[in-house]
Amino acid sequence: MKNIKTGFIGGGNMARSLIGGLIASGCPASSIFVSDRDPDQLQSIGADFQVNTLDSNRAVVDASDVIVLAVKPQVMKEVIAGLDPAGLKGKLLLSIAAGIRTAAIAKWLDTDCAVVRSMPNTPALVRSGATGMYANASVSEQQRENAESILRAVGLTVWVDEEDQIDAITALSGSGPAYLFLVMEAMEQAGVQLGLSAETARLLAVQTAFGASKLALEVEEDPAVLRERVTSPGGTTERAIKVFEQHHLLKLFEQAMTAARDRAAELAEQLGQ
């Protein structure tokens, strides 16, 4: 990425995370360009990262090889409409806006262009994210590598061959942190009910979630195998697991994630008008 010029349209939290990750991975600040409609936010980014701050989105496009679309989905159409399609020739648009399909971007530009659609999640803010990615037919192999390098600066990346699978990724890893926060919240509250202090219960719940996730990432076994190893016959864990099974926890997760997937598809239809 050292020879690639990367532009950001939008300077919110996710853009800041990506910029920080790129610089930490060796990308020079001088090769990063940012625009934002909020002058204070733009000034803050420039001061924090010493990147180039520009006063227009078109200036970012002109200066960059890869343009990261880091604006809210609700304003994406307006942002795209303000770009010059001719200025995008040979360049890559990398969208990190939820629910915006590549076809919608092409329609708003009224031209074919290279677009990678991605679905990062909030742990990217601490460089521990998981991002699903889809490239349209206009994206070259080099552009795929460039897009992956940008998002890999804040965590793990995976590619899908069908764009509809991004909706499933939204349901799994995009919304997934909220599910895990809910589990941590439930464990903390139950710990308090069992007599622990709120501080102790929170610390144990959060560290247990962190440790279990780290273990699952660093060993070859599936989570099901790791769960079985903790679940001794006749023990405390087995009794707790049986309660979850009696209440059909796995089926509940399937239903919840299906609902999230379906809502992601609905939003994509609405936002793409």
CATH number for 136: 3.40.50.720
Looking at residue 1, what is its pLDDT? 58
Domain identity same for 160 and 218: no
Mind listing the pLDDT tens digit of every residue in the chain (273 residues)?
567 999 999 999 999 999 999 999 999 999 999 999 999 999 999 999 999 999 999 999 999 999 999 999 999 999 999 999 999 999 999 999 999 999 999 999 998 899 999 999 999 999 999 999 999 999 999 999 999 999 999 999 999 999 999 999 999 999 999 999 999 999 999 999 999 999 999 999 999 999 999 999 999 999 999 999 999 999 999 999 999 999 999 999 999 999 999 999 999 999 988
Domain identity same for 155 and 214: no
Domain identity same for 155 and 185: no
Domain identity same for 122 and 237: no
Residue 213 belongs to some domain of the structure = yes
Domain finish residue from 166, 184, 217: 166
- Nearest CA-CA partner of 115 in 137, 132, 148: 137
Looking at residue 159, what is its pLDDT? 98
DSSP H/E element including 252:
helix 249-271
User: Which residues pair with residue 119 across a beta bridge?
Assistant: 132
Give dist(CA 57, CA 37) in Å, integer.
9
- Nearest CA-CA partner of 136 in 165, 164, 115, 157: 115
Domain identity same for 198 and 120: no
Torsion angles phi and psi, residue 156, rounded to 5: -80, 145
Domain identity same for 105 and 39: yes
Residue 182 belongs to some domain of the structure = yes
E strands present in the chain: 6-9, 32-35, 52-53, 66-69, 92-95, 114-119, 129-135, 155-159
Residue 234 belongs to some domain of the structure = yes
Q: How many domains does one find in the chain?
A: 2
b/e code 251-261 from CB counts within 10 Å (16+ = b): eeeeeebeebb
Strand order in the sheet with 6-9: 52-53, 32-35, 6-9, 66-69, 92-95, 114-119, 129-135, 155-159
Looking at residue 272, what is its pLDDT? 86
Residue 180 belongs to some domain of the structure = yes
Residue 138 belongs to some domain of the structure = yes
Residue 171 belongs to some domain of the structure = no
Domain identity same for 209 and 115: no
Domain identity same for 125 and 21: yes
Looking at residue 133, what is its pLDDT? 98
Instruction: Record the tokens describing residue 94, joined without a space.
Output: 């990398």
Domain finish residue from 166, 184, 202: 166
Domain identity same for 86 and 186: no
Domain identity same for 149 and 198: no
Looking at residue 273, what is its pLDDT? 83
Q: CATH number, domain at 183?
A: 1.10.3730.10
Q: What is the pTM of this model?
A: 0.92
Residue 231 domain boundaries: 176-268
Domain identity same for 191 and 60: no
Instruction: Record the tokens describing residue 118, joined without a space.
Output: 């991605």
Domain identity same for 147 and 227: no
Give dist(CA 133, CA 147) in Å, integer.
9
Looking at residue 2, what is its pLDDT? 61
Residue 206 belongs to some domain of the structure = yes
Give dist(CA 268, CA 273) in Å, integer.
9
Residue 273 belongs to some domain of the structure = no
Domain finish residue from 107, 134, 166: 166
Angle ∠(48,15,23) on CA atoms, nearest 5: 55
